[in-house]
Amino acid sequence: MARTTKARSLVAVVTVFVALGFTVVVAASNDRGGSVQQVGVVAPEPSVNQGVPPEKAQIEQAEEARQRQADRGPKAPKEQQGSKPASCVAPSVQPTIEPASDAVPGVRMTPTTQTRVVYGQAVYLVWGGLTTSDGAPADQGQIAVVESPRDACATENPNSVLDVFEMPTQHGTITMVGVNGALVFFETEDGTTGTFNLETKRYS
Amino acid sequence: MLLVAVAFAPVEPAGATHQTAQNISPWYGHSWYISSTDAARINSLGRGDGTWDRDHAFCDGDNTNDSSDKVAVLDFGRPIRLATSGPYYGYGLTMFSGPDTRLDTIVWLTEQYAAGWYATSGGCARLQLALGTSNSYLCSGGVQPCDPNEFGRVLKDAVHQVQLWLNQQNYSWQIQAIAAADMETYGADGWACAGPTRAMVDGFSQNTIGYYTLWDFGEAITSSGCWSIQDVHYVSWGAAPAWPLPEIYNANFACHWTDGSCRGYAVERSVGPVTFRGEMTECQNPDPIPYGPCTVAGRSEYGPGQAWDQLWQRGQTYGSQSSMPYSTNIKFAP
């Protein structure tokens, strides 16, 4: 009888906490008495926007309302969304050297020139310029390369790799002046000329 | 002894090493620097990411322990003005080493990604799809005048257009459009100073076409003198639509957003608490990227799990947020 009363009390307490948005964790044992050994009550999760300024909260609430409205609306079927493109091979193009118009994300450098090269089974995004890495010599030229597969649709998750190649000797900033196949021709601030091979990633 | 736990246990996806809880790092998703206008490539990218997010999200059926929040930032490069009239007042994005591209085409490419993602993503994951840009060489070159404030305004127009399309396609229960900007703060290497960057954010705020957020995936290291830590706080949090999704590449990055243990100044320590949406890494490893560290252009950086943990732990010093649901890793798109 006492056990039944205790259990009813627990049900009532749990019901109240659940109604208030609490998560109730109950651990029980059945060794003889079968009594409840532990009841843990976890406070409700505060809203992420707690402490958010009103004008910011207004935008967040509008986004949430838009989401709720969309949840109640129609949902496009998944099976009618077309199939994966079998191939998307990058076409061959004559590379052009252009003045750098973007910073290079992930690389500390001041780029002077940029180009895009399609060669073999790869696409290369290439920047030439001067490193601005901490501790690097002030006249350290470098080339940054992103190499990607030419057919980005051939596999489910094709990878691209960004890497940086400092010139073996310091001659100032690198300016790319031409491309022939995988060879990038450049000149440096002090008039030194050279090539960089996109396949082997070597200067010469 | 029989122990009974009245709780909701999510089903862990195969191969998962991360767990889901408010203080445990979520699975990372993918973000991309986009340099191609090939719709098939972008669609394929979305399909691959939809599969990845499907396999790394889980829902328990009653939303109590879901880990389904994903963000994909498509960074199309920095703003440029290509014409003084036409769609979006002639503004476009430079797409890194790709072609300078009008914003209406950028909108279309974003939609191609969304269509691919939707097709493969199953029913659990929810995606914040960001039309992304940066403050690199902000408005230099191209046609003048190029006004960062005006660009900010048309950026919101473009995001709104993507959202309308998502609504029309009945994708919006699963995908929501947002804006994002890589707002770098060292004022060198071509990255703009605080003035024009703030103007871009203000333009986004001032456009009343709809309610959209602008996520800052930049950094908080201010070394050039043309950014203050107050500026960083403003563009990432102080402005009404701004939310931070900061680059956390190493301890120094995390420190400047949070506790200031590196040089004494930091966004939260010096100005005030912010609510981080999550963090971004830039690991070059193929999936699955390790917890950390990882390799980036020959150097070691935080992996996604490590970055999330660092930001979360350091953020507890001053911040009050109860969850940080997003984690993403950015690369150049193949």
Q: Which amino acid is at A204?
A: S
> Is the confidence at residue A7, as pLDDT, over 80?
no
Structure tokens, B288: 């699955």
In Å, how far are A3, A29, A79, B41, B241 from B3, measured between CA atoms? 18, 6, 44, 52, 47
DSSP of A34-66: --EEEEEEEPPPPPTTTT--HHHHHHHHHHHHH
pLDDT at site A9:
44
Q: Are strands A183-188 and A36-42 parallel, antiparallel or unpaired?
A: unpaired
Contacts of A63 in chain B (CB under 8 A): 176, 211-213
Q: Are strands B79-81 and B91-93 parallel, antiparallel or unpaired?
A: antiparallel
8 Å CB contact of B176 and A74: no
pLDDT at site A134:
83
Window B:90-129, CB contacts with A under 8 Å: 94, 96-98, 100, 115, 118-119, 122-123, 126
Closest CA to A27 of A10, A43, A44: A10
Omega within 30 of 0 (cis) for the link into B79: no
Q: What is the pTM of this model?
A: 0.85
> Is the confidence at residue B115, as pLDDT, over 90?
yes
> Is the confidence at residue A15, as pLDDT, over 50?
no
For B214-231, what is the mean pLDDT? 92
CA distance A170 to chain B (A): 19
pLDDT digits (tens, 9 = 90+) for A37-72: 333 333 333 344 456 889 999 999 999 999 999 999
CA distance A115 to chain B (A): 6
Contacts of B73 in chain A (CB under 8 A): none
CA distance A192 to chain B (A): 23
CA distance B123 to chain A (A): 9
Predicted confidence band of residue B297 (pLDDT cuts 50, 70, 90): confident
For B239-243, what is the mean pLDDT? 97
pLDDT digits (tens, 9 = 90+) for B248-274: 999 999 999 999 988 888 999 999 999
Among A27, A53, A115, select the one facing B4 at the smallest CB separation. A27
Angle between helix B39-55 and helix B103-120 axes, rounded to 10 deg: 40
Q: Alpha-carbon distance B297 to A165, whole Å? A: 9
Contacts of A103 in chain B (CB under 8 A): 78, 134, 136-137, 184, 189-191
DSSP of B280-331: EE---SPSSPPSS-EEETTEEE--HHHHHHHHHHHHTTT---S---EEEEEE
Angle between helix B148-168 and helix B194-206 axes, rounded to 10 deg: 40
pLDDT at site A128:
97
3-state DSSP assignment of residue B232: helix
8 Å CB contact of A125 and B96: yes
Q: Which amino acid is at A53?
A: P
> Is the confidence at residue A32, as pLDDT, over 70?
no
Closest CA to B198 of B169, B235, B253, B164: B235
pLDDT digits (tens, 9 = 90+) for B17-40: 444 456 789 999 999 999 999 999
Contacts of A157 in chain B (CB under 8 A): 48, 51-52, 286-287
CA distance A182 to chain B (A): 17
CA B242 distance to own-chain centroid = 11
> Is the confidence at residue B7, as pLDDT, over 70?
no
8 Å CB contact of B189 and A109: yes
For A136-143, what is the mean pLDDT? 94
In Å, how far are B58, B80, B128, B240, B255 from B92, measured between CA atoms? 37, 5, 22, 24, 34
* E strand segments, chain B: 29-33, 69-75, 79-81, 91-93, 101-102, 126-134, 175-182, 214-216, 242-244, 278-281, 294-296, 299-301, 326-332
C-alpha dihedral (B266, B270, B275, B281), degrees to nearest 10: -10
pLDDT digits (tens, 9 = 90+) for A75-129: 999 866 667 777 899 999 899 999 998 889 888 899 999 999 999 999 999 999 9
pLDDT at site A83:
74
A133 in contact with B at a CB cutoff of 8 Å?
A: no
pLDDT at site A80:
62
pLDDT at site A65:
93
For A166-181, what is the mean pLDDT? 97
Rounded to whole angstroms, the maximal C-alpha distance in chain B is: 77
pLDDT at site B136:
93
Window B:151-190, CB contacts with A under 8 Å: 163, 167, 169-174, 176, 182, 184, 188-190
CA B94 distance to own-chain centroid = 18
Q: Alpha-carbon distance B66 to B83, whole Å? A: 46
Structure tokens, A66: 């838009």
8 Å CB contact of B48 and A156: yes
Q: Which amino acid is at B203?
A: G
Q: What is the ipTM of this complex?
A: 0.85
In Å, how far are A113, B42, B176 from B167, measured between CA atoms? 41, 20, 9
pLDDT at site A50:
55
Closest CA to B125 of B22, B17, B49: B49
Among B78, B140, B170, select the one facing A75 at the smallest CB separation. B170
Q: Alpha-carbon distance A105 to B218, whole Å? A: 10
8 Å CB contact of A60 and B40: no
pLDDT at site A81:
60
B47 in contact with A at a CB cutoff of 8 Å?
A: yes
Closest CA to B153 of B91, B227, B206: B206
Which burial class, exposed, middle or buried, applies to B166 when counting CB atoms under 10 A from its CB (0-12, 13-18, 19+)? Answer: buried
Structure tokens, A69: 């409205």
Q: Alpha-carbon distance A103 to B188, whole Å? A: 9
Q: Alpha-carbon distance A17 to A42, whole Å? A: 9
Among B44, B163, B241, select the one facing A85 at the smallest CB separation. B44
Closest CA to B202 of B148, B243, B122: B148
Among B35, B96, B118, B249, the strongest candidate for a mutation testing the A interface, having the largest count of A CBs within 10 A, is B96
Would you say B214 and B243 are in contact if contact means Cβ atoms under 8 Å apart?
yes
The dihedral through the CA atoms of B272, B273, B274, B279 has a sign that is positive
pLDDT at site B6:
32
In the A/B pair of chains, how many CB contacts fall below 8 A?
202
8 Å CB contact of A110 and B275: no
Would you say A137 and A124 are in contact if contact means Cβ atoms under 8 Å apart?
no
8 Å CB contact of A144 and B297: yes
